[in-house]
């Protein structure tokens, strides 16, 4: 949430001047990059999804933002799975001797990946990390079903939190702004009184006990 608090106020200024389609397209590209670039994180893509929710909170149509984001996240998950599988294949071709020591031939490694995919807790944990799921040869059907079940409530929660946070931060910003102006006026008035009426300040200080006669 700290990252969201830092990023959300910048959303209106960065995206408010763009048409909704362009702003959403930029977020979709960003979430794809985030999911593919962070292979070891459970359900990656949270940062950009929260920012998409903040975009909804700033007044953009819900469906125009949410539907493309859901499609982008789920599509990026598939790309990350395929990328993990392709990466591990490339690594085994480049270092066959080390692959033999670490996991045996590709057929044995694939069998081990299926074994990982078949465990109850392990299968859900593995499916939540798309790149890792592809790398360990988790069966695609098992990966896709589990990930969809995990992603739907996750997406709904992330978009909702982003929407609410944008509204809360906006309200807090207005309150803090008004409070800051009032506090500045009070401080300025006190400085003027201290400059032009020092005797009154001394009398007030003695009355409150801040300044005592010796």
Query: Is the pLDDT at 210 greater than 60, yes or no?
Result: no
Q: Taking all residues of the chain, what is their mean pLDDT, rounded to a whole number? A: 74
Total-model pTM: 0.65
Give the pLDDT score at 92.
78
Nearest to 116 by CA among 98, 101, 129: 129
Domain segments of the chain as ranges: 2-171
- Provide the 10 A C-beta neighbour count for residue 52: 32
- Beta strand spans in the chain (E): none
């Amino acid at each position: 949430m700290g990252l969201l608090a830092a990023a959300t106020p910048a959303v209106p200024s960065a995206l408010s001047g763009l048409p909704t389609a362009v702003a959403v397209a930029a977020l979709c590209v960003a979430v794809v990059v985030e999911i593919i670039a962070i292979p070891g994180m459970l359900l990656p893509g949270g940062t950009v999804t929260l920012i998409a929710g903040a975009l909804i909170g700033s007044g953009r149509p819900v469906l125009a933002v949410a539907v493309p984001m859901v499609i982008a996240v789920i599509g990026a998950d598939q790309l990350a799975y395929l990328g993990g599988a392709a990466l591990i294949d490339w690594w085994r071709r480049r270092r066959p001797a080390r692959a033999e020591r670490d996991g045996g031939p590709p057929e044995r490694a694939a069998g081990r990946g299926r074994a990982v995919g078949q465990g109850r807790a392990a299968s859900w944990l593995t499916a939540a990390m798309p790149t890792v799921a592809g790398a360990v040869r988790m069966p695609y059907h098992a990966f896709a079903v589990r990930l969809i079940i995990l992603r739907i409530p996750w997406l709904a929660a992330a978009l909702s939190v982003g929407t609410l946070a944008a509204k809360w931060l906006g309200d807090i910003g207005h309150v803090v702004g008004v409070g800051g102006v009032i506090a500045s006026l009070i401080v300025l008035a006190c400085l003027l009184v201290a400059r032009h009426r020092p005797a009154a300040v001394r009398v007030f200080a003695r009355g409150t006990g801040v300044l005592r006669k010796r």
